[in-house]
Each structure stands twice: as C-alpha cells, then as structure tokens.
Amino acid sequence: MNAQSLHDAVAELIRHVAQTAIQPHYQRLASHQIEAKAADDVVTVADKLSEEMLTEGLMKIMPGLAVVGEEATHADAGVLDGLAGDCWIVDPLDGTRNFAAGKPPFGILIAMASGGVTHTGWIYDVLTDRLCVAHQGKGAFVNGERITARVTGETPPVAALSLIFLDPARRQAVLDHVAPHYRMVDVPYCAAEQYPRLALGENDVSIFERTLAWDHAAGDLWLNEAGGRCARPDGSPYRVDEITRTGLIGAASPALWEDMARRMEAIPG
C-alpha cells in the first residue's frame, strides 16, 4: 500500500468510526455508560466501541501490525510491549472527560511508529471534521492543505500549561517562576485540540507532564513537521517506547521552545 492509499484508508476509517461509535453517544450518555478508570480518568461506552472498531479496521489496512490502544493497554499492560516494534498507536476518544460532560473538544488520535519513533500520524476533531495528518519528512497538513506553524504574535506569548500531573511543589514552582512570563490560557484537556492550537496561531507554547504514547505520538510528529518544535525539556526527541518518562514541551516555533525550556530548567529545586 502506498502512502496516499494508506492515508486515505485511515481517514475513511476514522470518519466512519466517529460517525458510528462516537457521535451517536455525544450528549446522550446514560450514567451506566460512564465508568471511573482512575481517580482522575473516566471511560465511556463510546471509547470502548471506538477502539474495537479502529483496531479491527487498522488490522485490515495493515495485517499483522500490532495495535497499541489506550483501552487495551488499561486492560493488559503487556500491550505496551508493542511500542518497541512496528505498531499502530490508538487513542479512540481523546478528551473523554470533555465528551462525558457533553462538551467539546474531543477527537481521535492514531499514529504509526517503528522502533519507538513515530513516522505517521492522524489527529481528528470529531465535531468539526478537521483532520490533521503528518508523515515523517513530508510536512504537516490540515484537511489536505499543507500548513506551516505560526505564532500568535502576542506579547507576552500565549501559554497553555498542563499542570494536572505535576506534584504540588513542582506545580507551584511553575506558577511562580514560569507562568508570569506568559499570558496563561486554559488547557483543553484534549491533545487532539492542543497540538493544532500550537500550529494554527492560537497558542504559542505548552508543557505536558504525562506523555503517554496515544496522547502525544501523532501530535509531536505533526507539530514538528509543521515547523514548530516538540521535544523533551532536555531537547531530546520524543519516543513512544519511553513508557515511564515524563515531560514534554511543544511550541509554535523553535525560539519559543527554547525560551520555555530555559525557564523550566531555571526553576529552583
């Protein structure tokens, strides 16, 4: 299968799953269709159905390729072993917390990786039909149009800092020493929305503490291919197989990335 056929097949699958498994449940979830997955996380019937359908569809598109899905991994941590080889990476409903509350944003994230490195990614907004696609070395696209990351142009720059997974002391240090240098805006609790904001002139920079592969594989690739920068705070590239590693900075330009990395490194303690 050539690259264009692959992209077309995955895009068709994503839209079909969104229309079949996700949209019918939006703002129609019954209480028994929402389950607590962790203290700060929920899963819905739509997440589960979406992952089932995406997994089945992706295995038909590329038979034999491992599928590392968020919900499958929650049920069996051994699924994560697939991240070391050639695999699909699937977040069947990114932004579940928003979806369960009956509000946007939420989407679908799919990536392909080989040897721990993402080479292809799809970021889909279910409600707007915005499809962001990237392939390593080939650029970033939104609904088929190649895009170049652009900054907001605001002074100070606009920052959406995801602090929820930081320990309390580190969170306060970021608020005290980093936040004052930016105009702070709310995070969308949805990577499928946050990464596009960083390239489309809405936000300038973001930090993430938890960096699970299904949340960041597609967005990291897409932002870098757009000409922004996404990397670990020490400048090393994001790898999907670094399962326990934390910390990631995404920015609309390399200069904005450097500024944030410098400020994060200078935090006392």
pLDDT in tens, 53-97: 999 999 999 999 999 999 999 999 999 999 999 999 999 999 999
90-129 burial: b if 16+ Cβ within 10 Å, else e = bbbbbbbebbbeeebbbbbbbbbbeebebbbbbbbbbeee
Dmax (CA) for the chain in angstroms is 52
Question: Mean pLDDT, to the nearest integer, of 235-246?
Answer: 97
Structural domain total, the chain:
2
Asked if residue 247 is part of any domain, the answer here is yes
Question: In this structure, are 139 and 14 located in the same domain?
Answer: yes
Specify the 3-state DSSP secondary structure of 227: coil
Question: In this structure, are 138 and 164 located in the same domain?
Answer: no
215 is in an annotated binding site: yes
The last residue of a domain, from among 116, 147, 178: 147
Q: Which residue type occupies 261?
A: A
Question: In this structure, are 16 and 125 located in the same domain?
Answer: yes
Question: In this structure, are 29 and 71 located in the same domain?
Answer: yes
pLDDT over 70 for what percent of the chain? 99
Task: Let me know how long the chain is.
Answer: 269
Question: In this structure, are 10 and 120 located in the same domain?
Answer: yes
241 is in an annotated binding site: no
Asked if residue 256 is part of any domain, the answer here is yes
Question: In this structure, are 113 and 211 located in the same domain?
Answer: no
Asked if residue 133 is part of any domain, the answer here is yes
Question: In this structure, are 172 and 139 located in the same domain?
Answer: no
Statement: residue 242 has pLDDT above 90: yes
Phi, psi for residue 200 in degrees, rounded to 5: -105, 20
Statement: residue 39 has pLDDT above 80: no
91 is in an annotated binding site: yes
129 is in an annotated binding site: no
Name the token pair of 36: 């607590």
Asked if residue 152 is part of any domain, the answer here is no
pTM of the full structure: 0.96
Question: In this structure, are 207 and 122 located in the same domain?
Answer: no
DSSP β-ladder status, 183-184 and 229-231: unpaired
CATH code of residue 137 = 3.30.540.10
Specify the 3-state DSSP secondary structure of 214: helix
The last residue of a domain, from among 147, 174, 200: 147
Place of tokens 């606009």: 158
Would you tell me how many other CB atoms lie within 10 Å of the CB of residue 10? 24
Statement: residue 1 has pLDDT above 80: no
Which domain range does residue 117 map to?
3-147
Question: In this structure, are 31 and 120 located in the same domain?
Answer: yes
Statement: residue 5 has pLDDT above 70: yes
Phi, psi for residue 195 in degrees, rounded to 5: -65, -45
Asked if residue 153 is part of any domain, the answer here is no
pLDDT over 90 for what percent of the chain? 93
8 is in an annotated binding site: no
- Rounded to the nearest integer, the mean pLDDT of the chain is 96
Asked if residue 135 is part of any domain, the answer here is yes
pLDDT in tens, 123-180: 999 999 999 999 999 999 999 999 999 999 999 999 999 998 999 999 999 999 999 9
Asked if residue 16 is part of any domain, the answer here is yes
The last residue of a domain, from among 147, 174, 199: 147
Question: In this structure, are 162 and 143 located in the same domain?
Answer: no
Phi, psi for residue 216 in degrees, rounded to 5: -120, -15
Question: Mean pLDDT, to the nearest integer, of 191-198?
Answer: 98
Name the token pair of 100: 């369960």
Position 206 scores a pLDDT of: 98
Asked if residue 28 is part of any domain, the answer here is yes
